[in-house]
């Protein structure tokens, strides 16, 4: 079975055994691009890694909240929310989370004949700004499917399926305009719909009313009035409804623990998450999951 490491609260990570990476290295379908390690670190306080001896893997880091910095080839870079970078194989490097605003990151180590092509020009920070057609939530769901596929076991079918997903995942980043074009909606003028889309694209952050209103281009008071007239809820109450809706989905369809789910939804306090869930759903997360199994 996969080996899951732990360190940061809410962390999930997998290190694929060498016997498995050896299989992938020699499989005709998988060898061109394959993962060796994969994980998610929320609010990774004191996260620091320095490799003076180069490794033979590319290192992908996607920051969705907070910030950090890294150094490679003698150059220093800063990275913040909605940015990613790929460190090339065979080069010493170091990276770390910011002390005051530690990053929340998805990360993947990968190899293969096509790795260098996906990594091309991504040594500098690449920005993925949320927008009406950004589909960030789709990409995060894709990562989850990739992680869960590997977590399910190491049959050759699982490995081939997971690495096919990985091609799609990297393609959604490297060919971002094409990825967004597929998700275009016919109606892009409605401010409330745009705000809801923005909320869904930032489910793993703690958005403020000011941030949402600024994205729409309205004052906070005018935006709140328009939003409540259309939905019957204040913007932040609706945002919480979306978070709990996603929490139900994760409780129904994944083995994630409650403290992992709350961090994934941008809620740092598991007790607050439990109270919010109970207020909205009428039962605790634990009871909700137990009920689904009856």
Distance set, CA 61 to CA 68, 111, 239 (Å): 11, 15, 27
Q: What was the pLDDT predicted at 254?
A: 87
Q: Which of 257, 243, 231 is nearest to 137 (CA)?
A: 243
Tokens representing residue 75 in the block: 């150059």
Predicted confidence at residue 46, as pLDDT, reads 92
Local mean pLDDT, 10-residue blocks, the chain (294 residues): 52 92 94 96 93 95 95 95 94 96 96 94 87 69 91 92 93 71 51 89 90 87 90 94 92 88 90 93 91 66
CA torsion 140→142→133→131, rounded to 10°? 10
Q: Is residue 13 classed as helix, strand or coil in its secondary structure?
A: strand
Q: What tens digit of pLDDT does each residue of 41-68 get?
A: 999 999 999 999 999 999 999 999 999 9
Question: What is the CATH class of 3-182?
Answer: mainly beta
> Could you tell me the pTM of the whole model?
0.70
Q: Same fold for the domain at 3-182 and the one at 191-292?
A: no
**CATH assignment of 191-292?**
1.10.10.60
Q: Rounded to whole angstroms, how far apart are CA atoms 34 and 179?
A: 21
So where are the chain's domains?
3-182, 191-292
Query: 57-81 burial by CB neighbour count: b if 16+ within 10 A, else e?
Result: bbbbbbbbbbbbebebeeeeeebbb
For residue 130, the model assigns a pLDDT of: 67
Share of the chain above pLDDT 70, in %: 89
Sign of CA dihedral 105, 108, 109, 114: negative
């Amino acid at each position: 079975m996969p080996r899951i490491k732990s360190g940061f609260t809410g962390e999930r990570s997998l290190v694929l055994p060498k016997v498995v990476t050896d299989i992938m290295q020699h499989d005709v379908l998988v060898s061109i691009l394959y993962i060796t390690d994969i994980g998610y670190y929320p609010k990774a306080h004191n996260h620091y890694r320095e490799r003076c001896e180069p490794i033979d893997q590319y290192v992908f880091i996607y920051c969705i909240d907070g910030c950090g910095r890294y150094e490679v080839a003698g150059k220093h870079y800063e990275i913040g929310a909605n940015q990613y970078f790929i460190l090339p194989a065979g080069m010493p490097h170091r990276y770390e989370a910011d002390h005051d605003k530690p990053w929340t990151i998805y990360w993947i180590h990968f190899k293969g004949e096509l790795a260098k092509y996906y990594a091309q020009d991504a040594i500098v920070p690449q920005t993925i700004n949320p927008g009406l057609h950004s589909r960030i939530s789709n990409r995060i769901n894709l990562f989850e499917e990739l992680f869960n596929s590997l977590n399910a076991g190491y049959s050759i079918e699982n490995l081939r399926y997971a690495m096919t997903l990985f091609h799609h995942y990297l393609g959604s980043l490297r060919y971002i305009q094409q990825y967004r074009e597929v998700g275009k909606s016919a109606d892009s003028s409605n401010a409330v719909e745009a705000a809801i889309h923005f909320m869904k694209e930032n489910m793993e952050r703690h958005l403020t009313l000011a941030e949402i209103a600024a994205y729409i281009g309205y004052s906070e008071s005018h935006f709140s009035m328009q939003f409540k007239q259309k939905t019957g809820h204040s913007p932040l109450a609706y945002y919480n409804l979306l978070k709990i809706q996603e929490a139900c989905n994760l409780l129904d369809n994944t083995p994630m623990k409650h403290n992992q789910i709350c961090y994934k939804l941008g809620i740092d306090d598991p007790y607050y998450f439990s109270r919010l869930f109970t207020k909205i759903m009428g039962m605790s997360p634990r009871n909700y999951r137990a009920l689904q199994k009856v």
